[in-house]
A and B are shown apart, each in its own frame.
Chain A
Amino acid sequence: MRGVITIFRRELASLFWTPMGWMLLVAALFANGFLMWAQLAAGGGNVTAALQASLGRGLLFWMLLITLPPLLAMRLFAEESRTGTLEYLLTAPVSDAAVVVGKFLAATMFMAILWLSVPIYGLIVQGLGTPPDWIALGCAYLGAVLVSGLLVSISLLASSLVRTPLLAAFLAFMACFLWLTLPSMVQMILAPLRELFSHWAGGWEAAERWIQIAVRSMDVPRHFLTSFLPGVLDSAELVFFVTWTSFFLFLTTRSLEARRWRA
Chain B
Amino acid sequence: MSAIPPNPSPERGPASGSRRGPRASGGRTRFWMGSQVALSVVLAAAAVVVINALVARPGLRLRWDLTAKEVNSLDPATERVLRQLPGEVTVDVFFRALPQPLTQLSSQVQARTLALLERMASVSSDRIVVRQNDLNDYVAIQQRLQDLRLRGLENCVVVSKGDQVQVVRERGQLAQFDLGNPNPDAYRPPALRAFEAEKHLLEAILSVTRGERPKVVFTSGHGEADPFETGPETAGVLESALRKDGFVIETWNPLEEDGFPEDAFLVAVVGPRDRMADSTLAQLDRFVEAGGRLLVAPHPDAEPLRASGLIPWMSRYGLEISEGTVMEPYADPTGTGALITGPRSEFLLVHPNHMKRHEIVQPFIDSGRAIAAVRSHAVRVARQPEGGLGLTMPLISSNPRISWLDTAPIDYRHEAELETIRGYDLAAVSEYGPSNESGTEGGTDQHLEKVRSRIVVLGSSAFLYSVMLESQGGQGSSLDFALNAFNWLVDREWRVNVSAKDPDLRLLSAEQIPWVSRWAVWGMPLFCLLLGVGIAYSRGRGGPRRQSA
Contacts and interface: CB of A to CB of B under 8 A. Distances in A.
Q: Do A and B come from one complex?
A: yes
Contact of B510 (A14, A37, A45, A235): A45
B1 A97 contact: yes
Interface string B509-549: 11011011101111011001101100110010000011111
A85 B549 contact: yes
A48 interface: yes
A89 B431 CA distance: 78
Nearest to B543: A17
B4 A261 contact: yes
Interface stretch (A119-127, A159-167, A200-208): A119-127
A117 B62 CA distance: 29
B192 A37 contact: no
Contacts of B63: 227, 232-235
A75 to B, nearest CB: 12
A247 B504 CA distance: 39
B524 A33 contact: yes
Interface residues of A, number: 78
B409 interface: no
A189 to B, nearest CB: 15
Contact of B546 (A17, A39, A234): A17
B72 A230 contact: yes
Interface string B125-137: 0000000000000
A10 B549 CA distance: 8
A95 B3 CA distance: 12
Interface in B23-58: 29-30, 33, 37, 40-41, 44-45, 48, 51-53, 55-56
Given A232-B65, A234-B62, A17 B539 contact: yes
Contact of B512 (A21, A128, A234): A128
Given A37-B520, A128-B516, A243-B52, A47 B118 contact: no
Interface in A152-206: none
- If over half of A's interface residues share one DSSP class (helix, strand or loop), that class is named, otherwise mixed; here it is helix
B186 interface: no
B66 interface: yes
Contacts of B2: 257
Contact of B521 (A16, A34, A225): A34
Max count, chain B CB within 10 A of own CB: residue among A41, A96, A131: A41
B171 to A, nearest CB: 16
B66 A17 contact: no
A253 B37 CA distance: 11
B525 A29 contact: yes
A37 B52 contact: no
Contact of A25 (B189, B507, B528): B528
B138 interface: no
B72 A232 contact: yes
Interface stretch (B103-111, B230-238, B493-501): B103-111
A211 interface: no
Given A14-B547, A133-B68, A261-B30, A44 B44 contact: no
A135 B62 contact: no
Interface in A224-258: 225-227, 230-236, 239-240, 243-244, 246-247, 250-251, 253-254, 257-258
Interface of A: 10, 13-14, 16-19, 21-23, 25-27, 29-30, 32-34, 36-37, 39-49, 57, 85, 88, 95-97, 117, 120-121, 124-125, 128-133, 135-136, 138-139, 217, 225-227, 230-236, 239-240, 243-244, 246-247, 250-251, 253-254, 257-258, 260-262
Given A14-B547, A226-B118, 10 more contacts: A36-B516, A43-B105, A43-B191, A43-B192, A44-B191, A44-B507, A45-B191, A45-B507, A232-B66, A261-B30
